[in-house]
Structure 1
Amino acid sequence: MKMVIIGGGPAGRSAAMEAAQLDAEVTLIERKHVGGTCLNEGCMVICGFNDVVKFHKDSKNYQKLGIISQESSIDYSKLVKGIKQTTGKISNILKHETQQTGVEMVMGEATIREGVVEVNGDEYPYDKLLIATGARPFIPPVPGAEHASTYKNVLDWKEIPPKLNIIGSGVIATEFANIFSSLGSEVKILCRNKFLSNIDPEFRDYIAKHLLPGVEIQENVQVQEINPDEASTSQGTVEGKVFLATGMTPNSEIVEGMVEIGPKKEIIVNKQMKTSDPSIYAAGDVVGTVGNTPVARREGIIAARNACDISATMDYSLIPQSITLYYPVSFIDSGEEPSEDEFDVRIRGSAGPGSFWHALDGETGFTKISSDLQTKEITRVSSISPASRTSMPYLAKMMLDGYKASDFDDFIETHPSTDAVYKLLHFLSKY
């Protein structure tokens, strides 16, 4: 079976390696960068910035405590150069890793016609086709929007902007506000509705107060016009560079007219990642489901298995999510409405790896777990701690498999740890 995959990001690469291991003849086509948005413009770029930001914040704290005598300063051009070098190295590793499984990799722009993909004048016939072309920043229909930046060109900036106005209210807006406020920018977040509306209000308030100190958050703001160094809004004019974090638009144009496309330009798929054309599958950000890398990888694997006639189904329940800040903010939600029997327990973060020195000022995060007292089922978990991103996916898996709070009665953690999850579960098991 010949399978052609367009897009070398997490969904496409995972699908290519899975299909190759299932003995398909796989060709993976990538237009620009192996690793996709996550590696080259998104998640890993955020991680690169955040590592330096955390060191910078720590040095300020240690200097304030008298532990070190000098405060660090940031060379933005060298920081950007280092991020590009690192992501480039990882991209080469991913390319080699993919080819080692027997996948043929082709770099270039793809076009599709019935049963054939053409790249650089060469034709690649297929039995099954997977579209994993990702998404791009959504540019709102605001006059002057072309003057604004997005995550795609932040590595092209020559310096840290003195003033930065971030239009958006979600994860991307929050992460970049943290980065550039820590680097010295005067940052405003301009939210059309409510800031971080999809997370627990307690955690939203903690983020605004403790993890984004100095960032001005304005809610219910309508942006009316964008200029090179300012934006006009319903609450007045704000000076400074404008950064758009207003959502994503799927890159589905390549199959327009071939498969069903949704109202937000997402490719419509079922839980087997099949499109309306029986020979075409789609996975990753282009299908507009949950926009994160682990979900894209899983969707790619599900698509590859079904394309190779192995039945598999995508499950979107209990997906752990996070926001990359000084402490990772991680959360799981069962999606069920709180019942009268739901019981919340919470605990403040304690001193340990990553938070020891912040015990002095109380900035150690906290964790909250919700459980149904009748069924003992865990319904929601949210945590702000250095270990939250590590523990959350395992807890999601245990919740998915039907574990109850009582099953954690004899749980033993790895010490030292600042993750309070085990303490709260032990407490809930007594009820």
Structure 2
Amino acid sequence: MLATSQASAFCGFYVAMADGSLYNQSSKVVFVRDGNRSTITMSSDYRGAPSDFAMIVPTPKVLRRDQISTVDAKIVDHLDSYTAPRLVEYFDSDPCAPEIMMEAPIVVEEAAPRGNARKQSLQSRARAKGVTIKAQYAVGQYDILILKAKESDGLSTFLTGEGYKLPKGAELVLADYIDAGMKFFVAKVNLSRHAKGKSQDLPPLQIAFRSKSFMLPIQLGKLNADKAQDALFFLLSRKGRIEVANYRAKALPTDGNIPTFVEKVFPQFYTAMFAKTVGGGGGIVMEYAWDMAWCDPCAADPLPNADLRALGVQWARGNGTAQDVYVTRYHAQYSKGQMQKDLVFRETNNRQNFQGRYVMNHPYDGKVACQAGREYVRATKKRLGQEAQYLSKLTGWSVGSINQNIRKTVPAAYR
């Protein structure tokens, strides 16, 4: 699995209890869209004490208890691995005795209900600030509040009074969502249930609802950022590719030949290539779009239907692998002043497959005494030079340093 560095964008923001310092370092959002039904799974590797964890996410409706759940983080990680940009390699055969080259894929790693008195007291404190507690739930290790507010200052004052520490600038962003009629999903860890759990990791939260709007709120997520943020979005549909409607999504460069030494520095290669692709102004990049019934090559095994159903793919039947499930993977990067509009998506019938795929050709490592072999050596030297130029174009790395690394990793005949 490719681990992207410094990823921190999210649908909502973290609010710290007491003086905890919270930074959401990486996030993955799985969005299943079927007609007007949306199922959103939010996963992030929160680092900090469970007592300091809390988050708030805008939602279009008041969610019922049966619309909120948790998901095994391994399922989200599996989807990440399955769709991640990948390396593939070929091994050149003896040019004096040619054989068919075989391809081998390489995957490079990247709540408890309160008593009635306490509940009524909380309700009255909320009402005094113009906040209505529309619902209160216990979901796994989390306590959930669904809030409706009249003014952002009242909402922020209520949350602050309940022990949450809001990021700087929260009121202005909350005001926009209040004006749009959004409700607020607030989750924090119930320490008693968390301590009794089998795992001390915080599981991804999932919400499901019906809405004509097909969007993800990203503005609140910027408030936790101390630098440029990244987020991975996995969008699943019956029909085909899901496109970004209100931003121009770039496609990750793909299918080029690169030097074999990149296998040892793939995370650095990916980071540099992505930075060149997205540019300095922030944006969103498509990294994968494919029918989940098959893959070529597979960076990980396809997800079984049981895991897809857990993510909200209700039409995945039986115990086999996916049918009529199309996944689109986007990687977004932006800072606080960039991408000022929430992400709006549209579902399409486009089922053209796309993946971030990078090809390594290992030169033949053996004696070549024939005329065809000598020609092969000359052609391979030329190819290695072209690979160096292409890698420099992708990453911004200097051709000189690339050639030095090539010479260290190829047989002497090609140096």
Quickly name the TM-score band, shorter chain normalised: under 0.3
The structure with the largest alpha-carbon Rg is 2
TM-score (norm 2): 0.19
TM-score (norm 1): 0.18
Report 1 or 2 for greater relative contact order, CA contacts < 8 Å, sequence distance ≥ 6.
2
Which structure has more strand as a fraction of its residues? 2
